[in-house]
Amino acid sequence: MISTLTLVQAAADASQAYGEFPVIGGRGAVWIAAQLHLMFAAFVLGVPMFAVITELIGIVGKDTKFDKLSKEFTRLLVFAYSATALWGGVLLFFVSTLYPSFWRHMADIFHLSMWLYAGLFFIESFTLYLYYYGWDRWNEGRAKWGHWGLGLLLNVWGTIVMVIANGWLTYMMSPPEGTTVAEGLPEGVGLWNAIANATWMPLNIHRMIANAVFGGAIVAAYAAYRFLAAKTDEERAHYDWMGYVGTFIAISTFIVLPFAGYWLGREIYEYNQQMGITMMGGFMSWLWIVQAILIGVLFLAANYYLWTGMGRIPGAERFMPYTKWMLLVLIISWIVWATPNTMIASRDEFAAMGGNRHPFLGVLGLMSGKNTAVNFMILTTFLSFLMYRRANKIPTVTWAKTGTMVQTAMFGLSASAVLIIGIWGYFVPTIVRIGLSVYQVLAVLSCIIGVTVIDIFMGRGAGSRGEIRWGEMPDRSQYAIFVLAITFTWLMGLMGFARSGIRQHWHVWEVMRDTSDYAATPALGYAANMISICVVIFLVMVAFIFWLGGLAEAATAKPKAAPPLTPSSQPAAPAE
186, β-bridge pairs: 181
Averaged pLDDT for residues 236-265:
85
DSSP 51-78: HHHHHHHHHHHT-HHHHHHHHHHHHHHH
* Spatial separation of the C-alpha atoms in residues 75 and 226, rounded to whole Å: 14
pLDDT exceeds cutoff 90 at 33:
yes
How far apart are alpha carbons 264 and 279 in whole angstroms? 12
pLDDT of residue 115: 93
**Cβ-defined contacts of 339-344 (< 8 Å, 24+):** 339/364, 339/365, 339/369, 339/370, 340/285, 340/286, 340/289, 340/365, 341/285, 341/365, 341/366, 344/286
Q: What is the pLDDT of residue 519?
A: 82
Model pLDDT, residue 569: 42
Helix (H) or strand (E) holding 377, with range, is helix 367-390
- In this predicted structure, what is the pLDDT of residue 180? 66
CA distance 105 to 61: 52
Nearest-angstrom CA–CA distance, 197 and 189? 11
Least confident of 194-203, 251-260, 440-449, 485-494: 251-260
Give domain status of residue 327, yes or no: yes
Query: 280-315: per-residue pLDDT in tens?
Result: 766 777 787 888 888 889 899 989 998 998 888 888
The dihedral formed by the CA atoms of 453, 458, 460 and 462, expressed in degrees to the nearest 10: -140
- Specify which residues 464 forms β-bridges with: 393
Q: Which domain holds residue 372?
A: 314-467
Q: Does 423 reside within a domain?
A: yes
**441 confidence band (pLDDT: 50, 70, 90):** confident
> Count of CB atoms within 10 A of residue 169's CB?
18
Per cent of the chain over pLDDT 90 is: 24
Q: How high is the pLDDT of residue 465? A: 84
Where residue 164 falls among pLDDT bands split at 50, 70, 90? Answer: very high
Continuous H helices in 502-523: none
At 337 the three-state DSSP class reads helix
Residue 409 belongs to a domain: yes
Task: Pick the range with the lowest mean pLDDT from 315-319, 475-479, 560-564.
Answer: 560-564
Confidence of residue 565 (pLDDT cuts 50, 70, 90): very low
User: Coil, helix or strand for 182?
Assistant: strand
Identity of the residue numbered 98: L
Report the pLDDT value the prediction gives residue 261, as an integer from 0 to 100.
Answer: 82
Separation CA 576–CA 571 (nearest Å): 15
According to DSSP, the β-strands at 463-464 and 180-182 are: unpaired
Q: Please report, for residues 45, 246, 283, the alpha-carbon distance to residue 49 in angstroms, rounded to integers and kept in the order given.
A: 7, 12, 37
pLDDT band at 68 (very low <50, low <70, confident <90, very high): confident
Instruction: Out of 147-156, 174-183, 256-265, pick the least confident.
Output: 174-183
In this predicted structure, the answer to whether residue 556 has a pLDDT above a threshold of 60 is no
Q: Please calculate the CA angle 160-298-81 and round it to the nearest 5 degrees.
A: 35
> Among the listed ranges 279-288, 324-333, 413-422, which one has the minimum average pLDDT value?
279-288
Specify whether the CB–CB gap between 240 and 227 falls below 8 A: yes
- Answer yes or no: is pLDDT of 561 > 90: no
Domain count across the chain: 1
Phi then psi dihedrals of residue 459, to 5 deg: -85, -5
Residues with Cβ within 8 Å of 66's Cβ and at least 6 positions away in sequence, in order, are 54, 55, 57, 58
Residue 573: DSSP 8-state = P
Q: Tell me which of 357 and 391 has the higher pLDDT.
A: 391
Contact at 8 Å (CB) between 37 and 91?
A: yes
For 208-243, what is each residue's pLDDT tens digit?
Answer: 998 888 888 888 998 998 899 888 888 899 899 988
Q: What is the pLDDT of residue 534?
A: 93
**Looking at residues 162-187, what average pLDDT do you find?**
79
Quick one: pLDDT band at residue 18, thresholds 50, 70, 90?
A: confident
Among 294, 316, 351, which residue's Cα sits nearest to residue 491? 294
Residue pLDDT, tens place only, 341-389: 766 667 777 777 776 666 666 677 677 788 888 889 999 999 998 888 8
